[in-house]
Structure 1
Amino acid sequence: MNTQLNGKIALVTGSNAGIGRATAVLLAANGAKVGVSYLNNKEQGEETVAIIRQAGGQAELFQADVTDAAQIESLVSGVESAFGGTIDILVNNAGHMVQRVPNVDMTEEMYDKIMNVNLKSTVFMCKRVIPGMKAKGAGRIVNMASVAGHNGGGPGASIYAASKAAISAYSKGLAKEVAGDGVTVNIVSPGFIGQTAFHSTFTTDAARQATIGGIPLKREGTPEDVAGAVLYLTSELGAYLTGETIEVNGGMFMR
């Protein structure tokens, strides 16, 4: 058994930077043909594709809002057309806290934004790729949750935390639905991962240092730490795992 993904077609949403980029790069390094998707920052997406191609891998860039079903259809169809086959590996990495909002200030509009970018995108991306996986009798789906789904998150993050908890529950239910078709569905749950826009936007330096001090491994995680877990789940090494959650958090949350 090994980590080689030669001939596999992978799609990693939100892969222009951070965890998504590290995942796309690692899957490509192991032989997958990777669809790199982005929402707003085309330049970062182009950088991801360039990194993959410079290392001898295959990648194509696609723009899509994965909260929109029509754009999901165009994204998946574009990847399938570019690589000449249906998707073997889906990594639902796209997600966002959007904004820290206490419940007393939560609006319906903000609630919808948070739930849509995290949960809705995951559900409808899965829906779109599963028929192709079923037809081949094989497929790997990895959905991105968060330690916030276990502990409720930081200040003003309760709806974000709820959306991530929902992703975990949804993934377990889906895993049962498609297991008989040779499709696995697993969850990667990152903890405090540095080098990402998330913490650059939402976490102060003081909060960062306090959090690191409470992590048993005494360091923040890297996007590559998370990407390694994804590779494990999408390669032969993870063939007998489905409905499972891999916690990538340095020991800050242990089940």
Structure 2
Amino acid sequence: MSSHPVVLVTGALTGIGRATAFAFARENARIVVSGRRAEEGRQLAAELNALGAEAQFIQADVRFEDDVRHLVDGAMARFGRLDVAVNSAGAEGESAPVTEQTPERYAAVFDTNVLGTLLGMKHELRVMTAQGSGSIVNISSTMGARGAAGASLYVASKHAVEGLTKSAALEAAAFGVRVNAVAPGPIETAMLNRLTVNAERKAAFLAGVPLKRAGTPEEIADAIVFVSSDKSSFMTGEVLRVNGGRTAS
């Protein structure tokens, strides 16, 4: 990988995606950040450029293939190659038992988490296989390997992301392209606060983590940088679980 790799991050405006963009900026990467909100995106690109990174924002909604195609083509038009892609856009959906789920709630989660990841990889692999190199990192969750009452759609979507990751890795290996996933446990983000509802429930939830705390977005970003880099060059089709010990037992 070049000393100034070209990195694409979807879902870059908040949480793990945002921390990942800054982590790559510190690694001297050239960065394309993406999300649905143009003003926040331009502000993020400006912050990354102020750090000395070469960054550009391209507005895209990963649920729509035309947006994803435009995003990848825009990255290629700007930088001429694509070394790393991080598919970080995600939605948690509403908590409800299976008996109350609806097609609309299904689409609200799966269109972003699963279709968005699929479309991202489709177009990222289009350019990476042609150039004969590249590394894709998808974002799963602790829930990609276990169940959770009330969160069936989110859980199912992350199981699907892990299946997509493994399948794409097998297809891409012959072209010198790696595809892996990072699966965070509870991370100090707005999503965690929405999922746990209040401070008391959040504290009880984190008490179940062996390390007795939430992770930080920066800790996940460091794992993403590692998995995407040549330091993990013999790793593909894998899911790196970064969750404070949640899945150890």
Category of TM-score, reference length = shorter chain: over 0.9
CA contact (8 A) 1:8 1:89 kept: yes
Alignment gaps of 5+ in structure 1: none
The whole-number CA distance in structure 1 between the counterparts of 2:50 and 2:4 is 19
TM-score (norm: length of structure 2): 0.94
Runs of 4+ in 1 over 4 A off after TM superposition: none
Alignment of 1:25-104 (within 5 A): 25-40=22-37, 42-83=38-79, 85-104=80-99
Q: Determine helix, strand or coil for the equivalent of 1:252.
A: coil
CA contact (8 A) 1:17 1:48 kept: no
2:164 maps to 170
Q: How many residues align?
A: 248
Residues 194-245 of structure 1, C-alpha deviations (whole Å, 9 max, x = no match): 1x22123222212210122121112110000100111101111111100111
Aligned-pair distance for 1:46?
Answer: 3.2
Aligned-pair distance for 1:5?
Answer: 5.5
Q: Determine helix, strand or coil for the equivalent of 2:145.
A: helix
Residues 41-93 of structure 1, C-alpha deviations (whole Å, 9 max, x = no match): x343234223321211111111111010111111111222222x132111000
> Which residue of the other structure, out of 126, 144, 168, is the alignment partner of 2:139?
144
Alignment gaps of 5+ in structure 2: none
TM-score (norm: length of structure 1): 0.92
Greater Cα offset, 14-23 or 49-58: 49-58
Identity %: 38
Amino acid at match of 1:23: T
* RMSD between aligned residues: 1.5
The whole-number CA distance in structure 2 between the counterparts of 1:22 and 1:43 is 18
1:8 maps to 5
> Which residue of the other structure, out of 139, 150, 157, is the alignment partner of 2:151?
157
Amino acid at match of 2:48: I
The whole-number CA distance in structure 2 between the counterparts of 1:111 and 1:156 is 13
Aligned-pair distance for 1:31?
Answer: 1.8
> Which residue of the other structure, out of 97, 100, 106, is the alignment partner of 1:111?
106
